[in-house]
């Protein structure tokens, strides 16, 4: 079946995918074999970064206004997925750079923006977002690095630790204490006096062995007054707003890793013969792989909605990006774990299938639920915001148009960085959950996917009612189980709304909604229960196998992969 529904936001990813070639081909510009060799030597995948530079990937980190190609975040999300399906080390290097660049685009002065744009567009440079410290971590208010007022500017003192691109960054955005509060400062290590900005040795890690993770020490480092990203004193708020963009992209990283894991496991399921037939014929294996496909589809719906919300519903993303960062890495890590069950002993080898890349993915993907705030940090952010919504109600602001938010046929508007407001809490509501689960009858007329979808929907509505009661009775943000329950409802609502807003253009396998019914069931069960075989599972399994055979990304939206 030919790919018919082309989503405009995926055009750049399709081009990049074709240019990067099939990673299982050892002669491709970015191949699993070469990436595993870099990993074995604990070296950065320089060839991979060079291939990305040569194909202009850095321009996608620079907004149009400063000469780049960054437009909407649904476009960037698709790019992140196709690079991440090859190697998370590549997207971690680029993601750390993006983290440092976002506050410059959003709040920097024009000369600061032009400087960073030049570094990215001309040199394909790396950047560092130097926020965390040995004794601070997620508690930004414990930041000890200080930028004291000195003649003509600041004197910076302190150590930043667990910093991406720490030994190779051409520009650094750092968080430091100014007078009463914290501020962000942009600096160029190559322009500082010798010894005042010292890069620490690379830190060894379980996965991402080719990533440049390290630290930076500032010793009486003189900075001009114009190093400040204004306004002074809003560094923490800028950092937390910035993370809403990059946390959404981490969902894309996790989805890329999950795609390769599932592709390898499903390919193995078809090729491996035991007891006289392919192991895919074993019901438990088939169910495990189908469950993984559903996890990818759920994660994709959440990620796409959040990426579009960054420009279509920016007030909601303090809540939704935290939910995406909690949900999608969890789902994708389960995909990788289940793939290792199917691959069995092969999952443990550093050679063989696809150059032995699976064990590397299994180590690498673990970072997605750790960096930029662990799962507990995300749940705490969500709990605080749900508490605030329960306490103060939904404040008047423009309601989010859910059909526009989720209609993938029209790209989300381009990001306009100077209009980015600092917003870290009080999200105003979650229309997705309200639309689908607030009123007893809401939306059920749309569900043609049969009685099982209806039953799952009724169960989710009961769960939503119970959650509202619990939130009204809770006194503090301490109960993270409420945040977890909200995330499940949010994920289900994303699946429902993506289906609702796109079903007329979807491939027949997606338009029918069998996948939707299975995803809703999977979310209501919450646990590790495999999808039941039967009239819903059969067509969805067939769809998954067709995507494998025809070389498409595992997705609701067709995206052809390089062959």
Partner 1 sequence: MSAWTQSELLPRLRDAFAGYLGLEPAEVDPDRPIAELGLDSLTAAQLALDIEDRLGVTLFLNDLSGQETLAELASSALGEPER
CB of 316 vs partner 1, minimal distance in Å: 13
Indicate the residue among 476 and 534 with the shorter CB distance to partner 1: 476
Indicate the residue among 120 and 236 with the shorter CB distance to partner 1: 236
Indicate the residue among 30 and 175 with the shorter CB distance to partner 1: 175
Distance (Å, rounded) from C-alpha 301 to C-alpha 501?
A: 12
Give CA angle at 161 (160, 163), nearest 5°. 95
Indicate the residue among 180 and 535 with the shorter CB distance to partner 1: 180
Indicate the residue among 206 and 392 with the shorter CB distance to partner 1: 392
Could you tell me the CA-to-CA distances from 123 to 45, 288, 429 in Å, in that order? 17, 45, 42
CB 173 within 8 A of CB 156: no
CB of 477 vs partner 1, minimal distance in Å: 5
CB of 224 vs partner 1, minimal distance in Å: 14
Q: Which residues bind partner 1 (CB under 8 A)?
A: 141, 149, 178-181, 183, 231-233, 236-237, 240, 318, 381, 384-385, 387-388, 391-393, 395, 422-426, 476-477
Structure tokens at 91: 């997207």
Indicate the residue among 42 and 397 with the shorter CB distance to partner 1: 397
Indicate the residue among 363 and 423 with the shorter CB distance to partner 1: 423
Cβ-based neighbour number of residue 41 at 10 Å = 10
CB of 151 vs partner 1, minimal distance in Å: 14
User: What residue has token string 């390898």?
Assistant: 264
CB of 232 vs partner 1, minimal distance in Å: 4
Distance (Å, rounded) from C-alpha 74 to C-alpha 8?
A: 10
CB of 180 vs partner 1, minimal distance in Å: 6
- Upper half-sphere CA count for residue 235 (Cβ side, 13 Å): 31
Indicate the residue among 141 and 419 with the shorter CB distance to partner 1: 141
CB of 376 vs partner 1, minimal distance in Å: 14
Give CA angle at 476 (473, 479), nearest 5°. 85
Structure tokens at 311: 């420009």
* Residue (of 90, 64, 69) closest to 9 by Cα position: 69
CB of 490 vs partner 1, minimal distance in Å: 18
Distance (Å, rounded) from C-alpha 339 to C-alpha 357?
A: 13
Q: Where are the beta strands (DSSP E) in 196-352?
A: 197-199, 213-224, 228-229, 273-274, 277-278
Burial (0-12, 13-18, 19+ Cβ within 10 Å), 303: buried
Structure tokens at 526: 């919450």
């Amino acid at each position: 079946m030919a790919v018919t529904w082309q989503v405009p936001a995926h055009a750049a990813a399709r081009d990049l995918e074709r240019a990067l070639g099939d990673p299982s081909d050892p002669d491709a510009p970015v191949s699993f074999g070469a990436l595993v060799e870099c990993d074995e030597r604990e070296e950065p995948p320089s060839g991979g970064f060079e291939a990305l530079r040569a194909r202009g990937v850095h321009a996608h980190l620079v907004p149009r206004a400063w000469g780049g190609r960054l437009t909407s975040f649904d476009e960037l999300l698709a790019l992140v997925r196709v690079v991440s399906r090859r190697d998370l080390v590549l997207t971690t290097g680029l993601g750390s750079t993006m983290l440092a660049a976002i506050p410059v685009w959003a709040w920097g002065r024009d000369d600061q923006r032009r400087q960073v744009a030049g570094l990215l567009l001309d040199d394909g440079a790396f950047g560092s977002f130097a926020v965390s410290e040995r004794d601070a971590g997620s508690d930004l208010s414990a930041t000890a690095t200080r930028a004291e007022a000195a003649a003509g500017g600041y004197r910076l003192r302190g150590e930043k630790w667990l910093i991406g691109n720490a030994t190779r960054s051409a520009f650094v955005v750092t968080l430091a204490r100014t007078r009463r509060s914290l501020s962000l400062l942009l600096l160029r290590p190559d322009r500082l006096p010798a010894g005042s900005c010292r890069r620490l040795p690379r830190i060894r890690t379980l996965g991402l062995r080719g990533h440049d993770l390290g630290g930076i020490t500032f010793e009486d480092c003189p900075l001009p007054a114009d190093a400040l990203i204004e306004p002074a004193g809003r560094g923490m708020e800028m950092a937390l707003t910035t993370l809403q963009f990059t946390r959404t992209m981490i969902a894309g990283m996790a989805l890329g890793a999950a795609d390769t894991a599932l592709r390898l496991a499903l390919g193995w399921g078809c090729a491996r013969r035991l007891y006289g037939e392919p192991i895919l014929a074993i019901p438990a294996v088939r169910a495990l792989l189908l469950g993984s496909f559903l996890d990818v589809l759920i994660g994709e719906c959440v990620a796409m909605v959040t990426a579009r919300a960054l420009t279509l519903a920016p007030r909601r993303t303090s809540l939704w990006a935290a939910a995406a960062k909690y949900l999608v890495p969890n789902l994708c890590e389960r995909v990788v774990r289940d793939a290792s069950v199917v691959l069995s002993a092969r999952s443990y080898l550093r050679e063989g299938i696809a150059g032995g890349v699976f064990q590397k993915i299994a180590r690498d993907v673990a970072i997605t639920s750790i960096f930029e705030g662990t799962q507990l940090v995300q749940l705490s952010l969500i709990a605080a915001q749900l508490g605030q919504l329960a306490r103060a109600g939904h404040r008047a602001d423009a309601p989010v148009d859910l059909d526009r938010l989720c209609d993938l046929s029209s790209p989300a508007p381009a990001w306009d960085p100077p209009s980015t407001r600092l917003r870290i809490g009080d999200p105003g509501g979650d229309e997705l959950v309200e639309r689908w689960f607030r009123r007893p009858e809401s939306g059920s007329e749309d569900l043609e996917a049969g009685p099982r979808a209806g039953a799952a929907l009724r169960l989710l509505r009961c769960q939503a009612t119970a959650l509202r009661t619990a939130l009204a009775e809770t006194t503090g943000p301490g109960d993270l189980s409420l945040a977890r329950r909200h995330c499940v409802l949010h994920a289900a609502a994303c699946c429902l709304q993506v289906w609702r807003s796109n079903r007329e253009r979807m491939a027949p396998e997606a338009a029918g909604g069998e996948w939707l019914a299975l995803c809703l069931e999977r979310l209501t069960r919450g646990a590790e229960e495999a999808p039941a075989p039967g009239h819903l599972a059969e067509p969805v399994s067939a769809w998954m196998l067709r995507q494998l055979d025809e070389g498409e990304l595992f997705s609701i939206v067709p995206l052809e992969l390089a062959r």
